A = this chain, B = another copy of it.
């Protein structure tokens, strides 16, 4: 009996379940796999032996399609970081004993930087113990697009498509009144501005999109921001601004730390305002025009109803690739995408040592940001554009999209 176990970890995305479907499809086609288990709540669920039988839950292709259009981690997630095996191998001993008990020979972990750390540590431990019949593979996902070793990350394209679409719709909305107004939209990304850069794609069909784009890679200066906005207000009635949640000054202090230290509520607690909220207040105080802040919040990672067909397809392929690597005897590696060309868009699947991705972050290169610091270059557009192409088919029932539940 050779069983496969798959689990998901980190922040949810609109495409992480497509990768799960891909892993399942890879396993179910192979005669080298008997049972296909899913662990609920990631590595934590592995350690607690909370398994579901995916052959039963995903018995027909319709269920697999439904899984691919369901947002967020259908197997649940966790934020558990395993101990350093050199200092305390107990977590790893426990995991291996559970693998042995359930005859698990293939383990696929779908996740971001932290999850790849788990894959790295676990595969290294397995190898160091001289175990040669357990294979541990990683499959990437993160809307942040900050994983090293892969051209881009599953989940990012769908979030980018939501952001581009939403900015194009917001631009229309903000255009209707002929009074001076500023609309500041906060996009996810603490350390990498890829998602905020995707707001520029709202211009692809001739729309103006955001007038100003601030990525967290550029030190943020509130005075420069006010100048930029004033300049734009001379030209346009409505000024739409995209800003990364993680914008900070040259000293690394986040916006809310710079301007809000004195603000407390009736209970004496500090307010935790987002970047857009801080900038809204700044524009109100210093410019005095109509101003509104918007956070795209969880919608940008969960809006599966407008997933990118390219992203969903690639996410499934990476799941199958990670599974195939494990079946072929590979371990300690991550399935990845290598881009061959932007236009026509061509990629190939590959696999890279997971240690390349574990705990590292790929940020936006400086040369893809305009010298004025508030926009992106054509190279960035060429990179981003293929990732949002195509509309993934969605099954609706009763007027809302259908989702599947695995636990």
The copy count of this chain in the complex is: 2
In the complex, A399 Cα to B162 Cα: how many Å?
10
CB distance A385 to B399 under 8 Å?
yes
Query: Nearest chain B CB to A206's CB is how many angstroms away?
Result: 8
Give me the 4 closest cross-chain CB pairs, A-B, nearest first. A388-B399, A204-B398, A72-B172, A173-B302
In the complex, A292 Cα to B168 Cα: how many Å?
26
CB distance B201 to A399 under 8 Å?
yes
Query: Nearest chain B CB to A182's CB is how many angstroms away?
Result: 13
Chain A residues within CB distance 8 Å of chain B: 8, 12, 41, 44, 70-73, 76-79, 161, 164-166, 168-170, 172-178, 183, 201-202, 204-205, 207, 259-267, 269, 271, 281, 284-285, 292, 294-299, 301-306, 308, 385, 388-391, 396-403
- In the complex, the chain B residue whose C-beta lies closest to that of A397 is B205
For A77, A161, A173, the residue with the greatest tally of chain B CB atoms inside 10 Å of its CB is: A173
CB distance A390 to B399 under 8 Å?
yes
CB distance A164 to B271 under 8 Å?
no
CB distance A172 to B71 under 8 Å?
yes
CB distance B294 to A400 under 8 Å?
no
CB distance B399 to A389 under 8 Å?
yes
- In the complex, the chain B residue whose C-beta lies closest to that of A10 is B176
Task: With A168-B401, A267-B285, A308-B399 as known contacts, state yes or no: A298 contacts B302, CB within 8 Å.
Answer: no
CB distance B298 to A400 under 8 Å?
no
* Chain B residues near A168 (CB-CB < 8 A): 400-401, 403
CB distance B266 to A261 under 8 Å?
yes
Task: With A77-B177, A205-B397 as known contacts, state yes or no: A403 contacts B265, CB within 8 Å.
Answer: no
Query: Nearest chain B CB to A379's CB is how many angstroms away?
Result: 17
In the complex, A299 Cα to B294 Cα: how many Å?
9
CB distance A172 to B302 under 8 Å?
yes
| Interchain Cβ contacts under 8 Å between A and B, 17 examples | A41-B176, A72-B173, A76-B175, A76-B176, A78-B177, A166-B299, A166-B303, A172-B403, A173-B298, A201-B400, A205-B397, A207-B403, A259-B266, A267-B285, A271-B271, A271-B281, A385-B399
- In the complex, the chain B residue whose C-beta lies closest to that of A160 is B399
* Chain B residues near A281 (CB-CB < 8 A): 265, 267, 269, 271
Select one of B169, B264, B284 contacting A269, CB under 8 A. Answer: B284
CB distance B403 to A298 under 8 Å?
no
User: Besides the contacts A165-B305, A173-B302, what 6 more A-B pairs have beta carbons closer than 8 Å?
Assistant: A41-B177, A77-B176, A78-B177, A205-B402, A271-B271, A305-B306
* Chain B residues near A178 (CB-CB < 8 A): 41, 44, 76, 78
In the complex, A321 Cα to B263 Cα: how many Å?
54
* Chain B residues near A73 (CB-CB < 8 A): 176
For A259, A295, A398, the residue with the greatest tally of chain B CB atoms inside 10 Å of its CB is: A398
* Chain B residues near A41 (CB-CB < 8 A): 176-178
Query: Nearest chain B CB to A299's CB is how many angstroms away?
Result: 6
